[in-house]
Chains A and B, each alone.
Chain A
């Protein structure tokens, strides 16, 4: 990462499409993660066409018997719940909810975090002080309890869950991006842009932003992963959206039904999906971390 003094962009850090391809293929784990994410995205997009049943539809087997608590079989690939709901259909439709929450809250929170971080880091002084105190206050908020309070007060709705997650989660990205922006600000090419009379807006969004891009993508992936874990945890505690099926919600229904002792299949599939998706996001983000933090690269 040699800062090429005269040029006003750090070419080494700007990411073209080909760069993304190289980063993701740089190791086995991130390759694995990338393909898992692709598969889940396809499932989420095609969910209503892939799921054989409604999530809360009582099912009957080919002989016409009520299919309650069936272990996985050809007819019900992931088994059924005690009320005869098909877990395979639930799982597919829940993928859509989980990805939606992850992507929407991940995106909004990184936009807030990036802006707060860039503005605080670039302007410094009073602006920085105020923004960082707000961030400190958010660090004082216990995350899950905050979501539980909001949901208990305003109702079990998807919008409120996303809102609650977004309100808290941007804090980490703001701090990290601020630190990076502060160091980039000192570089020669920024000083030169200033001398040429570039506006603050232009410097922040055209000169600094491209250089914090790897870091931004890294934290976007983290934010998505955290959102997914958080939504699943809140749903498991009974503070999810009651009308939309999600992986955490499936486990909540299992816990409520008291069938944990028998229905291992009911536990297995949503759990594996949550872990698989989150771990994939972490694997991919670690590949970006090596770009964002070159000191790690040699190891």
Chain B
């Protein structure tokens, strides 16, 4: 298994490398000055010239590529055109805000989704099953910006139950993550964005759990457990749910990967100061160093999550040892 994990890890590194290369190519295909990637057109010509030297932009493309890769590896991600702050500094702040929101949303999705899935499989073809399926599919079909807007319009504007956005009250800037987590205000503000994320993704674990439960329930060893006279609750939880979870684990990894991209919408809607909001703002302002850095950071997050899923999966399903090569 170690061999499998190691190989997956190497693939992960190659993938990050490839994404960085694609990013280089895309920014190089930019119409107009290729230097716009790192040099703000608003800068003093003398400064522009000096920066051109520093980034090797007068050199041939392959050399620029080497410099680009070296800069990425040594965390020299450039400075914002707008605020002149280091990109890595900006990202350092934003990273945890995104993680907090994602963690809350995914916890809600998985706990509720798996629970609902078990109940639906248990009461198969009953009213709970039917309503759950239809509601789940509708939630999935509603893009997060629509559910988010609806929640804002009803719970925030109309009923005044929740603030309209932000992570903390204007002016109250907490010192660190721990400090933030201690304030009730933060949790209050977390509710709407979490609900928005949760509603969009809940149908995935719910329907997968339901389907794999039903699949497991049809197998021989469940029949055997029934024949032994075990209570149906015991069969459901101990025998069926455990095995059905495997399918959910694989899907969850991919789902959480998708959710990283989806953060862009939720964070913009609720003015949540995370990487998704940063992505939209920097792209709209043509702040290329920030846009590039944020994209790369989001990609690294997705790729790492995919890797973790693979590892977790191989741990949960021992059969993977034999078929390591077949899984992709």
Interface residues, chain A, with chain B CB atoms under 8 Å away: 29, 132-133, 135-137, 139-146, 148-154, 175, 225, 229, 232-233, 236-239, 248, 251, 255, 260-261, 264, 267, 271, 274-275, 278-279, 282-283, 295-296, 299
Contact = CB atoms under 8 A, between A and B. Distances in A.
A140 B144 CA distance: 21
B295 interface: yes
Interface string B129-151: 00000100110111111100110
B143 A140 contact: no
B60 interface: no
B302 interface: yes
Contacts of B19: 137, 140-141
Contacts of A149: 23, 26, 283, 291-292, 295
A225 B141 contact: yes
25 contacts: A137-B15, A140-B18, A140-B19, A140-B302, A140-B303, A145-B276, A145-B279, A145-B294, A145-B299, A149-B26, A150-B26, A233-B143, A233-B264, A237-B264, A237-B268, A238-B280, A251-B145, A264-B153, A271-B146, A274-B141, A274-B142, A274-B146, A279-B141, A282-B137, A282-B141
B150 A271 contact: yes
B16 interface: yes
Q: Is the interface of A mostly helix, strand, loop or mixed?
A: helix
Contact of A275 (B14, B138, B264, B292): B138
A264 B152 CA distance: 12
A255 B137 CA distance: 26
Given A153-B27, A275-B142, A282-B141, A144 B286 contact: no
The residue in A142, A148, A233, A283 that gathers the most chain B C-beta atoms within 10 A of its C-beta is: A142
Nearest to B301: A142
B3 to A, nearest CB: 17
B279 A148 contact: yes
Given A233-B265, A299-B124, A145 B295 contact: yes
A142 B143 contact: no
* Chain B contact patch, size range: 35 or more
Q: Is the interface of B mostly helix, strand, loop or mixed?
A: helix
Interface of B: 11, 14-16, 18-19, 22-23, 26-27, 29-31, 124-125, 134, 137-138, 140-146, 149-150, 152-153, 157, 211, 214-215, 254, 257-258, 260-262, 264-265, 268, 276, 279-280, 283-284, 286, 291-292, 294-295, 298-299, 301-303, 306, 328
B295 A132 contact: no
A145 B145 contact: no
Contacts of A279: 137-138, 141
A260 B298 contact: no
